[in-house]
């Protein structure tokens, strides 16, 4: 069964509101640039590859309202790209997709505005189709790492809700199931916004895969009890040396896996690699509102009045804790600096 999280049809953009899942499956329309900005900012649309594709479509929607006079068009186009790029800083896919549109526009600025608009719309659709096949490739490579009856720990949401295709880490599990392997998934609930409990569990149930939601703090104990064979997570940005930024809590899972000698795999497409950064220390880590920690599901307080909270949305996993990175071009093993460079040269 195929599921999707965004739809672009007849020049209209729709998305499933992920903040309402799993209680409500509600589709909304993104009608303009500000709608798109707040959908990404508030995590109605989330997941590194998905925000890139969605943002590209937001620009296409915005183009409808732009003037045909060239200099005004270029000025407003540039402003809109910069505005969306600043929406979420950690996942590089967002900047990557917008940069691709920007480059196409500058390379073709001698053409008429209506021609440029057509070319940009075609490019956004192309990126969408490409993301679907990147997911298929990662799934095929990653599934080779899964054995029958594996018990896999995962963190955050890395499935069809996080990409335009089947997903990154979850796509590997979907492929393993398709290959007739029996897989059990332990799903970190992923505080504070519960992407694991709300979204991953929902996806796995739709796909009829055995899953147990666990509190983030129980992963190490499950490992100690021998209940976890492998860890599969996604990534929001991977530096040139293989350091990975991903949802907060990924680092703790990697440390625990390393201590218990459990393979720790990261699954990400080339659009998540940022070779301009030598190491993870240079990746900007998004900090989000304190209320995401202080309130459950945005409304129920779980801390004393006036208690302060600290809310880093992502953390960094150093490359030496990572067994391999599954990319759309193949599985990358250490030494990462050399091997990432080799595989990325092939792609770019």
Q: How far is the CB of 169 from ligand MRU (least distance, A)?
A: 7
Between residues 48 and 55, which has the closer beta carbon with respect to ligand MRU?
A: 48
236 is catalytic: yes
Among 234, 335, 332, CA closest to 343: 332
Q: Does 195 bind ligand MRU (CB under 6 A)?
A: yes
Dihedral pair phi/psi, residue 274, rounded to 5°: -125, 90
Q: Is 249 in the site for ligand MRU (CB under 6 A)?
A: no
Among 5, 137, 158, 271, binds ligand MRU (CB under 6 A): 158
Binding status of residue 46 toward ligand MRU by CB under 6 A: yes
Q: Convert residues 272-311 into a mask of x (bound to ligand MRU by CB under 6 A) and - (unbound).
A: ----------------------------------------
Distance CA 176, CA 150 (A): 10
Residues 6+ apart with CB under 8 A from 179: 143
Q: What is the DSSP letter of 45?
A: S
Measure the CA–CA gap between 200 and 327, rounded to whole angstroms: 21
Q: Binding segment for ligand MRU among 8-16, 39-47, 255-263, 323-331 (CB under 6 A)? A: 39-47
- Select which of 35, 188, 236, 315 is catalytic: 236
Contact segment (CB under 6 A) with ligand MRU among 29-37, 68-76, 155-163, 220-228 equals 155-163
For 208, the 3-state DSSP assignment is: coil
Alpha helices, DSSP H, located in the chain: 33-41, 48-63, 70-85, 92-107, 113-143, 169-178, 201-206, 219-224, 250-259, 291-294, 336-347
Q: Which residues bind ligand MRU (CB under 6 A)?
A: 43, 46-49, 91, 156, 158, 162-163, 168, 195, 234-236, 246-247, 313
């Amino acid at each position: 069964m195929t599921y999707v999280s965004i739809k672009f049809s007849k020049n209209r953009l729709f998305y499933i509101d992920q903040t309402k899942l799993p209680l409500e499956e509600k589709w909304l329309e993104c009608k303009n640039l500000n709608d798109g900005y707040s959908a990404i900012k508030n995590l109605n649309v989330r997941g590194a590859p998905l925000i890139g594709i969605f943002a590209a479509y937001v620009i296409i929607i915005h183009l409808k309202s732009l003037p045909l006079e060239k200099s005004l068009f270029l000025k407003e186009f540039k402003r809109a790209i910069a505005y969306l790029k600043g929406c979420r800083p950690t996942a590089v896919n967002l900047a990557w997709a917008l940069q691709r549109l920007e480059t196409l526009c500058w390379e073709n600025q001698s053409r008429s505005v209506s021609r440029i608009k057509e070319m940009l719309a075609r490019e956004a659709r192309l990126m969408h189709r490409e993301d679907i096949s990147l997911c298929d490739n990662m799934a095929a490579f990653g599934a080779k790492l899964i054995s029958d009856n594996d018990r896999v720990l995962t963190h955050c949401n890395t499935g069809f809700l996080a990409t335009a295709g089947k997903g990154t880490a979850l796509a590997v599990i979907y492929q393993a199931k398709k290959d007739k392997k029996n897989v059990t998934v332990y799903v970190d609930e992923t505080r504070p916004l519960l992407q694991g409990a709300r979204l991953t569990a929902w996806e796995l149930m739709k796909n009829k895969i055995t899953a147990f939601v666990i509190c983030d703090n129980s992963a190490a104990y499950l490992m100690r009890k021998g209940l976890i064979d492998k860890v599969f997570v996604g990534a929001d940005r991977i530096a040139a040396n293989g350091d990975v930024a991903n949802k907060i809590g990924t680092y703790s899972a990697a440390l625990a896996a390393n201590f218990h000698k459990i393979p720790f795999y990261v699954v990400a497409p080339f659009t998540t690699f940022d070779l301009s950064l030598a190491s993870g220390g240079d990746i900007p880590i998004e900090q989000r509102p304190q209320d995401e920690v202080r309130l459950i599901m945005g409304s129920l307080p779980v801390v004393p009045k006036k208690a302060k909270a600290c809310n880093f949305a992502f953390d960094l996993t150093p490359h030496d804790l990572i067994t391999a990175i599954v990319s759309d071009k193949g599985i990358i093993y250490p030494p990462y600096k050399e091997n990432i460079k080799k595989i990325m040269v092939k792609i770019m």
